[in-house]
Amino acid sequence: MASNKLLASATKQASYNMVLQVIFRAMTFLLNAFLLRYISKEMVGVVNVRLTLLYTTIIFVAHEAFRRACLSGGDKRNWRQTVNLIWCTVPLGFVCTGVFTAVWLYLLERPDPDVIPHYSVGVLAFAASAFIELFADQLWVMTQALLFVRLKVVIDSLWIAVRCVTTVILVVYFPHLGLIAFSIAQVVSSAALVLAYYTYFTHYIRTASPDDSFPLKKIQDFFPTWPTGKKPWTSPELARLTWSFFKQGILKQLLTEGERYVMTIFDVLSFGDQGVYDIINNLGSLAARFLFLPIEESGYLFFAQSLKRGKPIRDQDKESLGLVSRVLQSLLKVVVLIGLTILVFGYAYSFLALDIYAGEMLSSGSGPSLLRWYCVYVLLIAINGTTECFVFAAMSQEEVDRYNKKMLVFSVLFLTSAVYLTRWLGSVGFIFANCLNMLARIVHSLYFMLGYYEGSQWRPLSGLVPSRWVSAVLVVSWVVTSYSEMILCCDQGWPYGILHIAVGAVCLLVVMATIVLTERDLVSFVHEQWLSRSQQRDDKKSKQDNKATNRRQTDSKKQS
């Protein structure tokens, strides 16, 4: 019963987190679109790359491993020892704040003070905001471990809203502040986050009933104290687990923030180019987050439940394997068609999209070229995500462990190629490095899948190749929209720009119609799934109606 409750709460929390991510991305997207008309690309580079990297580095070193370790232990954890351990982040964070602040101020290249004044204030503010948030770590762990699902969503939403609103007000009404405006917004939002946690739990403790199972009974329990009895100040097992999580997290941090570390440490791009690349990266990754990620997650869940992990194809259930192969082929076809469509139309509409989004700051320089190449990267992301979700579901545990070691090699290749390609090609080099990384991972997945299906009747990798008619229509659409951009967009005013959009809309409709008419296997599969879900809904409704009818009949008999 407890496990079912835990699963339900965890599922609910995952759903809330997905909604929060959508809200966060949407607010960030709208905020950037608004602010880019008031600030320079150099300011974007300093804030979104240099100072944000300082903030995330302090957060990672000071408390990421502590948080993960303190969430372990289940019902057997000693909360007094857990609270004591999590408070170790404060002295560690103080040291990290001092060290990284000195590095950012004295060892890294500083922006031109005439272009970006008050850089030192920005460094101190972003470092201070990371340090401030450490004081709420023990309450964050409580929120996660005890499944206060809505509380985390509300407080994180408050944090985002305070930062966005404060930034907009200061930038618009006090433009002379420059970097100080972003610094104030960062510190205020962090202080609001900490204050919200303490306010809620203080009220919760004061209004809780005496038999409440909440582990903290008084305000003093928020802070470190010596455990009762002969127990040590903190758990040695949790301390060792923290160190293990820290070592595991280093690679993840390098992968997550690798581009920013390369930009910051090796000085391969100017601050203006860093700002443009960061904006293009955020724009281009929207498709990956909102279109491909749900497909990958759903696909992995289906493959993992349908396949016997680590077993060769001859030991799999034939019926399940046939369905898995068809689903894999259909998913590959879907993501390839979406990726190719983004690539074809992204080439002709990158300039117009960036001009609408941020004006000349993005559309006049390297922005359109970056976004066009990013469309190539999006196609590779789509293929890699779908192939890897199958591979991870079919691999044995030993094969997964070996792949993790290969990921380290891929990461080193990515960082190395990013340094050299960026010095050679500028900001486009980052996209090329990402493409090389994705290609290496795709080749690895295809090699595994070819070996897995060798000698069988199924050919799911045929989903990677569109039909000849779709391929031809995509090529024609690329030619037509490219020619339309050349003669209609974008120096001749909005009437011609709207006509250019209309040309693209017609081409897109032709592409979609061709897919429906020629990709018969895919259309048939989607139609079957739609009918299956409709049948499930009808069956569920029929059962509910039958239960209601039986209940009314029972009540009627009782009354009689």
pLDDT for residue 31: 75
Look at residue 161 and tell me whether its pLDDT is greater than 80: yes
> 537 falls in which pLDDT band (50, 70, 90)?
low
* Ranges 242-251, 378-387, 433-442, 537-546: which has the least confidence: 537-546
Kindly report the length of the chain.
560
pLDDT for residue 530: 67
Q: Between residues 294 and 190, which one has the greater pLDDT?
A: 190
Look at residue 252 and tell me whether its pLDDT is greater than 70: yes
Average pLDDT over residues 346-354: 90
Q: Are 400 and 394 in contact (CB under 8 A)?
A: no
Q: Is the model's pTM score more than 0.85?
A: no
Helices (H) and strands (E) in the chain, counts: 22, 0
Q: What is the CA radius of gyration of the chain?
A: 27
Q: CA-CA distance, 281 to 275, in Å (whole number)?
A: 10
Look at residue 102 and tell me whether its pLDDT is greater than 90: yes
pLDDT for residue 513: 94
pLDDT for residue 509: 96
pLDDT digits (tens, 9 = 90+) for 449-478: 988 888 788 888 888 899 999 999 999 999
**Whole-number mean pLDDT of the chain?**
82
Render 340-399 in DSSP notation, one character per residue: HHHHHHHHHHHHHHHHHHHTHHHHTTTHHHHHHHHHHHHHHHHHHHHHHHHHHHHS-HHH
Q: CA-CA distance, 102 to 111, in Å (whole number)?
A: 16
Residues 6+ apart with CB under 8 A from 471: none
Structural domain spans, the chain: 2-256, 267-465, 468-541
Look at residue 235 and tell me whether its pLDDT is greater than 70: yes
Q: How far is CA 180 from CA 171, 187, 192, 363, in A?
A: 9, 11, 18, 27
Q: CA-CA distance, 132 to 127, in Å (whole number)?
A: 9
pLDDT cut 70: percent of the chain above it: 85
Look at residue 495 and tell me whether its pLDDT is greater than 80: no
pLDDT for residue 552: 59
pLDDT digits (tens, 9 = 90+) for 206-227: 887 766 667 777 777 777 777 6
pLDDT cut 90: percent of the chain above it: 29
Average pLDDT over residues 104-122: 92
Q: Between residues 435 and 252, which one has the greater pLDDT?
A: 435
Look at residue 3 and tell me whether its pLDDT is greater than 50: no
* Ranges 60-69, 111-120, 270-279, 419-428: which has the least confidence: 60-69
> 546 falls in which pLDDT band (50, 70, 90)?
low
Average pLDDT over residues 31-52: 86
pLDDT for residue 300: 80
Q: Which of 97, 93, 96, 102 is nearest to 120 (CA)?
A: 102
pLDDT for residue 535: 58
